[in-house]
Structure 1
């Protein structure tokens, strides 16, 4: 399954399915910035709020679609400061619980890395919950751990958890 880069209109057209993925991700215990239970209306509003950033080029979003549902997504957030245009943040890498363990997370990660390099980005960074399945994915994909911040964010159940920061240098081309 390949991931398609979404323009603002396509993002809005898929917003309901993207919201379903976000709700599933939070219900599954992944720490992606939301507390459980996450209502579908709140998830929908969050995704709809991303359209302006996509239209302005501040966000690049890819979605893997399987039939009538979105099974995974990844986003790059580009800074707007002149001294930071060489880097981007990888955010909201999500894979539906039913699609996990099949390499989709790795394919989404690779898609974002290649697109970033093609756009001239030489440094990616991210944060993820320490000891989470996502952290294991990033390590296996060759990302470098920069450090751990204790009690950085609450997991979906509201418990403060440490976060590990990672970076990856890219070769542009």
Structure 2
């Protein structure tokens, strides 16, 4: 099937088997290897990308479903010379060890911060009528779909907290 997806700001025309996941299209067809294939079952979050600003597990989504959508992968978040504030915070807080989950963690953080800004409640949100307060419990709940085998959770939390407090 012919599909056009805007990836990291660039329209990309693809001719795909309709069974191709968004993750495989990104990695194999577009050679964007930053998005990781972890469990391939939507359980680890290593494949998290943003679609139209909303975070999804790209291993659970067919690429042809995203015809006309805007997809942001880790390659579209900052550059080596101009890191995004969340990337800077991950470095500053040492929020990774092996780094395998880091692209998904960063994309998920960006989506999560937008959810909070848009006042989307989570399971941890206590008052649904009030503006969401980004507590540690709220961050942990919202990031619970992103696993880290190295257990860098305290550093990830610190990185997210620093960016949220800075308003970046």
Question: What is the TM-score when the length of structure 2 is the normalising length?
Answer: 0.31
More strand by share: 1
